[in-house]
Amino acid sequence: MSAPSSTPAIVPRRTASSIHQGLTTLIGKTPLVELANIARNRNLDVRILAKVEFFNPAGSVKDRAALGIITAAERAGKLRPGDKLVDITSGNTGIGLAAVAAARGYRTKFYLRSTIGQDKINLLKVYGAEVVLIDNKEFLAENAIETILERIVRENPNAYFTDQRANPANPEAHYTTTGPEIWQDSGGEVDILVSAVGTGGSVSGTGRYLKEKNPQLRIVISEPADASLPSPERPYAPGIEGVHKVTNIEPSHLPANFHAGVVDEALAVTTEIALETASAIAREEGILAGMSSGASLNVALTLAARPENAGKTIVVIFPDSGERYLSYVE
């Protein structure tokens, strides 16, 4: 009998299709959840479905735009390993970009309002992003956004400016993913879409796709009430993070990615009501959604109470998790 070989047997490496090859493969395909308790507790004769976007790996709907923007830049040969990405952000797009950039080998730097919650600032830093805070008073100046964007480009001459407000890869990401997911998961049974407006990418891309499928579908946006907007008298007024006013605003001051033609109606919500509604989502559905989710659900509830919407299905985009706003909870 021969001596056993000391060389270990070579075991063929098995492939497993359930193993994801990196963070970016986890972006998208978020669940559509019926808010049955919310509707039943208010005796509403509608079906309310939430597109729960905090199931994206970096925690928000902005992961989709981040992947789209970075992938488009790579395909165009605008990014090389180790390059730096820069932009202005209310937090979520920056977090998404920072996460995708980390996975792809890039560095990041973001400029934020000084009033952005500490939760988002901490997340950006954990992903390795450099954070520059800008006093909220600067955003009240004439042509403030344009001035700040010029500063960003000037201070970072060798960085890639992701330009989330005007980069067409932003709404395109939602046209090719968010819209089709909602249509497929609802079985085409969606009558109204409710969304907030940040850069405009989510509502513009998703809305365009859904209206192509059903021209009768209505798109309604939630926006901050005047009391929740900063002013020279109240420069640090608590706003709804990432949610911007678009009605009665000069078109030149709106993000290029916001396509107003896709929107049928806009309803205003105060920061207080947005937070209260977000709390109701947690307590009645067990879903910990952020304040912009609360704002949009409040709009959905207003629509649901209208007699003409009886029996209809309303889809609400929940952009992120309430964990990003715990510093607002007393």
Instruction: Report, as residue numbers or ranges, the catalytic residues.
Output: 62, 292
Is residue 38 within 8 A of residue 280, CB to CB? The reply is yes
Residue 89 CB contacts under 8 Å (≥ 6 apart), including other chains: 97, 110, 111, 112, 164
What is the distance between the alpha carbons of residues 188 and 212, in angstroms, rounded to a whole number? 12
Residue 213 CB contacts under 8 Å (≥ 6 apart), including other chains: 179, 183, 188
What is the distance between the alpha carbons of residues 144 and 139, in angstroms, rounded to a whole number? 5
What is the distance between the alpha carbons of residues 95 and 59, in angstroms, rounded to a whole number? 8
Q: Which residues of 254-282 are buried (b: 16+ CB within 10 A; e: fewer)?
A: bbbbbbeebbeebbbbbbebbbebbbbbe
- Residue 226 structure tokens: 């005047």
Three-state DSSP class for 98? helix
Largest separation between any pair of C-alpha atoms in the chain? 94
Q: What strands lie across the sheet with 192-196, from one edge to the other?
A: 32-34, 47-52, 313-318, 192-196, 218-224, 265-269
Is residue 65 within 8 A of residue 164, CB to CB? The reply is yes
Q: Which residues of 107-131 are buried (b: 16+ CB within 10 A; e: fewer)?
A: bbbbbbbebbbebbbebbeebebeb
